[in-house]
């Protein structure tokens, strides 16, 4: 029995030694307590805000469309270029329209010659009817011919004006100051008509002013609409600004 008690006592001493050494190792490996910053409590008014994701759209946007059909002869701009009002963008082939102008001028000259001859015939008829050399019906007919000749001159002049307008439409110019967008038409073959119903045409937008567009849900709107004001903050991407609406 005395020997057994001695063994038991030694085992207990060893267990206490091991436990003590483990406790010391655990205490040495534990991380230090985290640092805590302390800030004094301050009372101030806080404005409730709601953040939205929106986009900017130009106030003025114009689609460039040809007024007359034709093939592109020249393109005078680069995609994304800033252009001013009246700058030439496209030049449509002008040969056909110049020929139409010359033809209209010739028609007008012929109509004027016909009108001059009709007036001369009328004046002669008036002289002859005084001497009763021709009947009054002949004079009336010549009067009608002279009126028709005058109408022919007006018609020919209108045709010439239209031909010159169409020739002017072959020069497509910028209607506003702004930046022009993507364009798929280029000079040279294969060339396509600018007036095809399925043709894509460039668009222009006035870049110095823009509208902020964003959508909200009914539950996200401010509860005090009478005090709502909108402020737009430009982000790194101008087409997707962050819009904040404080209540």
Q: Tell me, what's the pLDDT at 180?
A: 85
Q: Tell me, what's the pLDDT at 237?
A: 38
| Token pair recorded at residue 21 | 């050494």
Across the range 39-59, mean pLDDT stands at: 81
DSSP character for 175?
S
Q: Tell me, what's the pLDDT at 206?
A: 62
Q: Tell me, what's the pLDDT at 35?
A: 86
pLDDT tens-digit series, residues 142-189: 999 999 999 999 999 999 999 999 999 999 999 888 888 876 666 544
> Binning pLDDT at 50, 70 and 90, where does residue 34 land?
confident
More confident residue, 6 or 166: 166
> Binning pLDDT at 50, 70 and 90, where does residue 21 land?
low
pLDDT tens-digit series, residues 69-82: 888 888 888 888 88
Which residue is associated with the tokens 């008829």? 125
Q: Tell me, what's the pLDDT at 163?
A: 97
Which CATH class name applies to 94-169? mainly alpha
The string over 146-178, giving b where at least 16 C-beta atoms fall within 10 Å of a residue's C-beta and e elsewhere, is: beebbebbeebbebbeebbebbebbebbbeebb
> How do the domains of the chain map onto residue ranges?
48-66+79-87+174-247, 94-169
- How many angstroms separate the CA atoms of 211 and 54, rounded? 10
> Binning pLDDT at 50, 70 and 90, where does residue 117 land?
very high
How many angstroms separate the Cα of 54 from the Cα of each of 75, 212, 231? 34, 7, 12
pLDDT tens-digit series, residues 227-244: 444 444 333 334 334 344
pLDDT tens-digit series, residues 189-200: 434 445 443 344
Which residue is associated with the tokens 């206490």? 16
Q: Tell me, what's the pLDDT at 178?
A: 86
> Binning pLDDT at 50, 70 and 90, where does residue 201 land?
low
ω into residue 195 within 30 of 0, thus cis?
no
């Amino acid at each position: 029995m005395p020997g057994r008690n001695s063994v038991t006592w030694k085992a207990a001493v060893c267990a206490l030694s091991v436990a003590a050494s483990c406790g010391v190792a655990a205490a040495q490996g534990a991380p230090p307590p985290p640092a805590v910053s302390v800030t004094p409590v301050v009372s101030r008014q806080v404005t409730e805000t709601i953040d939205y994701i929106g986009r900017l759209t130009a106030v003025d946007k114009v689609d460039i469309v040809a007024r007359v059909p034709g093939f592109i002869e020249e393109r005078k701009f680069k995609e994304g270029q800033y252009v001013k009002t009246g700058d030439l963008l496209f030049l449509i082939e002008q040969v056909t329209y110049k020929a139409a102008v010359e033809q209209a001028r010739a028609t007008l000259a012929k109509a004027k010659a016909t009108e001059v001859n009709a007036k001369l015939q009328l004046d002669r008829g008036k002289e002859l009817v005084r001497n009763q050399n021709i009947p009054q019906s002949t004079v009336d007919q010549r009067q009608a011919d002279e009126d028709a000749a005058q109408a022919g001159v007006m018609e020919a002049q209108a045709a010439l004006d239209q031909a010159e307008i169409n020739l002017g439409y072959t020069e497509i110019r910028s209607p506003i100051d702004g930046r022009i967008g993507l364009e798929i038409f280029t000079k040279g073959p294969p060339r396509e008509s600018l007036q095809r119903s399925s043709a894509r045409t460039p668009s222009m937008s006035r870049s110095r002013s823009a509208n902020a567009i964003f959508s909200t849900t009914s539950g996200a709107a401010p509860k005090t609409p009478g005090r709502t004001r909108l402020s737009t903050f430009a982000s790194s991407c101008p087409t997707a600004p962050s819009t904040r609406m404080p209540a």
